[in-house]
Amino acid sequence: AQSVTQPDIHITVSEGASLELRCNYSYGATPYLFWYVQSPGQGLQLLLKYFSGDTLVQGIKGFEAEFKRSQSSFNLRKPSVHWSDAAEYFCAVGPILTGGGNKLTFGTGTQLKVEL
């Protein structure tokens, strides 16, 4: 069975500081990995995804993530955090379905707080 672990429930960083959110996964085959952000009152927004190829993937809003198969990790990074990045971040893994979309397994999320 597939699973995702996000070890950090809460993280607080100062605006302008760098950020790394950790994600470890368990998956029987080649994983399809995702990072989503959830802001209050809004739906989940896809930040980036990894299917294959280059293990360093670039996403929206200046985020990037690195897939490390040997460590079963897919950590999210941002070199300089903005106050507007404060939100809940979810790592997810899931197969691509033949009919479209994917049945995602989400991690428990990391709540990011940004201090001004």
Partner 1 sequence: GAVVSQHPSWVICKSGTSVKIECRSLDFQATTMFWYRQFPKQSLMLMATSNEGSKATYEQGVEKDKFLINHASLTLSTLTVTSAHPEDSSFYICSAPALTWNYSSYNEQFFGPGTRLTVL
3-state secondary structure (DSSP) of residue 85: helix
CB of 97 to partner 1, least distance (A): 7
Distance CA 77, CA 105 (A): 21
- CA 60 to CA 89: how far, in whole Å? 14
Structure tokens at 94: 């899931």
Rule CB under 8 A: is residue 105 a binding residue for partner 1?
yes
Binding mask 19-48 for partner 1 (x = CB under 8 A): -----------------x----xxxxxx--
Do 27 and 2 form a contact (C-beta atoms < 8 A)?
Answer: yes
Return the residue of 16, 26, 51, 84 that touches partner 1, per CB under 8 A: 51
Binding positions for partner 1, rule: CB under 8 A: 36, 41-46, 49, 51, 90, 96-97, 99-109
